[in-house]
């Protein structure tokens, strides 16, 4: 794995390659949606790199001192960014967005979220730490360890503020190893087992998850709603659901029941997440006695996609589709249908799977071994390209379904609402203190006595 620097002439990104030194087209398109290849600027004329099985490879090997150019499919290739002195931008500019973090005798190059900050989520992914494990980031100044300031940028999400001058600083990540649910290893140093690799557990049977499946009805038909708590549910945000706002009230129905006003349940929108495309719904009453477990998706594990994408009978029915988790590294893309986020909104990070859902499958639940790993957004589409390149693009393109992960984003939204409920719920009145009884005891004198009577 290596970090390579890429530019389209206007902006520069640093992206990771896979273990086989290939850069996936999906990863490239997360930074430049119109890009279909990379150009090596070292050669004249400039040379396109080779594309195989949806990945870009450099026959000469990747050079961290080169800024590769994104090929946008047009006859005019992008020009490199030029500095005020007239020379091309070198790798020093890209290296400003990378810090080396040491944790438990392990050093990792981490790409910053911003010029002056890095999120806890980014650090956890770099060191493969669970969300429930507390972490801290420190620097060494004059042989003293100084803790960096931790701030909240979204509800339940935090980042560390980095110093402006950090060229020679040593960063250290600390965490409590005893708080971890299970040990994890880095991808580049995973111990080899002498035993055959155990297959991923099969996805759950459809009957076991039907009790957590619901739907709502709007102008587009049935839309999937998934239970995540006895009183909380989650559905997708795009399409007809863009008209829903916090406080909107809709009615949901059991997946196997008919649409009947008397049988439905009234739920209220309590939270919206535009970037991860989900809506959190709350009921005043308990609808499902026992809620499902939420889990973190793992690469190559099997899952069952359940949603209302089946229209073969003329009526939407709950349908099931098997898939495999393809990538958990974070998939991003831009949308242009959000009025509050003009001209576009960067969506993600998402999970990618191989369950190619059909129209109507939005919000479908992705179940892995009786655990909810996320809800379905849609499928990736083949990017627009020139007519001469469309055949080769179609030959290498493989659509994937896009999954909004249950952990950490949906679970954090749920926990935040439960916390608000706890803080705003009326507290029971304090118990009234009983006045002591004064009595005269012969030979002792006057004293007080308190008697608690059972009012039941």
Domains and CATH numbers, the chain: 3-95 (no CATH), 101-186 (no CATH), 206-283 (2.40.10.10), 295-409 (2.40.10.10)
Distance CA 204, CA 208 (A): 7
Reading the block at residue 160, the tokens are 């560390």
E strands, 8-143, in order: 12-16, 23-24, 37-40, 47-48, 50-52, 55-57, 67-71, 98-103, 106-111, 117-119, 135-141
Q: Is pLDDT above 70 for 384? A: no
Distance CA 348, CA 311 (A): 29
The whole-number average pLDDT for the span 85-91 is 38
Helix, strand, or coil (residue 388): helix
The pTM of the full predicted model, rounded to 2 decimals, is 0.53
8 Å CB contact between 378 and 402 = yes
383 or 289, higher pLDDT: 289
Confidence of residue 154 (pLDDT cuts 50, 70, 90): low
* pLDDT digits 0-9 by tens, 389-448: 555 556 656 788 899 999 989 999 999 999 999 888 887 777 776 666 666 666 665 555
101 or 431, higher pLDDT: 101
Residue 415 confidence (pLDDT):
93
* pLDDT digits 0-9 by tens, 194-251: 555 567 788 888 889 999 999 999 888 889 999 999 999 999 999 889 999 999 999 9
8 Å CB contact between 175 and 135 = yes
Confidence of residue 170 (pLDDT cuts 50, 70, 90): confident
Least confidently predicted of 117-126, 167-176, 270-279, 307-316: 307-316
Pick from 158, 66, 148: nearest CA to 101: 148
HSE-up of residue 31 (Cα within 13 Å, Cβ side): 24
Confidence of residue 91 (pLDDT cuts 50, 70, 90): very low
The contacts of residue 142 (CB under 8 Å, 6+ apart) are none
Residue 84 confidence (pLDDT):
32
Query: Where do we find the tokens 């009884």?
Result: 437
Arithmetic mean of pLDDT over the chain: 78
Residue 85 confidence (pLDDT):
35
Reading the block at residue 175, the tokens are 């965490």
Reading the block at residue 445, the tokens are 């004198």
Pick from 122, 256, 108: nearest CA to 188: 108
Residue 247 confidence (pLDDT):
95
The contacts of residue 17 (CB under 8 Å, 6+ apart) are 1, 2, 3, 4, 23, 62
Query: Where do we find the tokens 């290849």?
Result: 37
Residue 278 confidence (pLDDT):
96
Confidence of residue 364 (pLDDT cuts 50, 70, 90): very high
Reading the block at residue 446, the tokens are 């006057």
Reading the block at residue 159, the tokens are 């980042």
Q: Is pLDDT above 90 for 181? A: no
286 or 369, higher pLDDT: 286
Q: Is pLDDT above 50 for 81? A: no
The contacts of residue 236 (CB under 8 Å, 6+ apart) are 223, 224, 277, 278, 279, 362, 363, 375, 376, 377, 404
Residue 14 confidence (pLDDT):
74
* pLDDT digits 0-9 by tens, 69-80: 888 764 344 444
HSE-up of residue 32 (Cα within 13 Å, Cβ side): 26
Residue 95 confidence (pLDDT):
47
Residue 310 confidence (pLDDT):
66
The whole-number average pLDDT for the span 181-196 is 47
Q: How far apart are the first and last CA of the chain?
A: 70
Pick from 223, 224, 226: nearest CA to 212: 226
């Amino acid at each position: 794995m290596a970090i390579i620097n890429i530019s389209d002439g206007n902006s520069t990104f640093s992206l990771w390659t896979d273990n086989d030194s290939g850069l996936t087209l999906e990863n490239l398109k997360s930074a430049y949606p119109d890009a279909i290849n990379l150009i090596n600027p070292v050669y004249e004329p400039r040379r396109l790199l080779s594309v195989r099985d949806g990945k870009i490879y450099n026959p000469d090997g990747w050079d961290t001192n080169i800024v590769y150019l994104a090929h946008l499919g047009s006859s005019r290739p992008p020009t490199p960014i030029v500095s005020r002195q007239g020379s091309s931008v070198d790798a020093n500019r890209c290296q400003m967005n990378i810090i080396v973090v040491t944790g438990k005798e392990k050093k990792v190059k981490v790409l910053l979220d911003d010029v002056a900050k890095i999120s806890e989520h980014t650090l956890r992914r770099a060191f493969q730490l669970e969300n429930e494990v507390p972490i801290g980031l420190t620097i060494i100044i004059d042989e003293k360890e100084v803790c960096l300031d931790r701030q909240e940028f979204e509800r339940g999400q935090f980042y560390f503020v980095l110093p402006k001058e950090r060229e020679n600083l040593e960063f250290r990540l600390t965490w409590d190893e005893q708080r971890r649910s299970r040990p994890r290893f880095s991808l580049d140093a995973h111990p080899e087992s002498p035993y055959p690799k155990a297959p991923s557990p099969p996805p759950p049977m459809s009957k076991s998850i039907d009790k957590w499946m619901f739907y709502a009805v709007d102008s587009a038909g049935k839309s999937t709603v998934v239970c995540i708590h006895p009183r909380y549910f989650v559905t997708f945000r795009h399409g007809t659901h863009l008209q829903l706002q916090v406080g909107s009230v809709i009615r949901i129905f059991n997946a196997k029941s008919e649409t009947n006003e008397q049988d439905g349940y009234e739920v209220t929108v309590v939270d919206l997440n535009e970037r991860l495309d989900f809506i959190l719904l709350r009921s005043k009453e308990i609808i499902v006695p026992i809620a499902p477990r939420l889990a973190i998706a793992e690469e190559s594990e099997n899952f069952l996609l359940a949603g209302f994408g089946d229209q073969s009978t003329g009526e939407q029915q709950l349908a099931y589709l098997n898939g495999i988790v393809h990538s958990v590294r974070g998939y991003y893309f831009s949308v242009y249908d959000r009025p509050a986020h003009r001209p576009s909104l960067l969506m993600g990070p998402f999970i990618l799977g191989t369950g190619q859902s059909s129209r109507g499958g939005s919000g479908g639940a992705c179940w892995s071994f009786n655990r909810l790993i996320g809800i379905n957004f849609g499928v990736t589409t083949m990017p627009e390209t020139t007519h001469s390149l469309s055949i080769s693009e179609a030959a290498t393109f493989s659509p994937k379904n896009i999954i909004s992960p249950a952990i950490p984003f949906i679970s954090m939204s749920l926990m935040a609402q439960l916390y608000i409920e706890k803080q705003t719920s009326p507290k029971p009145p304090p118990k009234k203190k009983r006045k002591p009884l004064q009595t005269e005891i012969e030979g002792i004198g006057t004293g007080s006595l308190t008697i608690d009577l059972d009012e039941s």
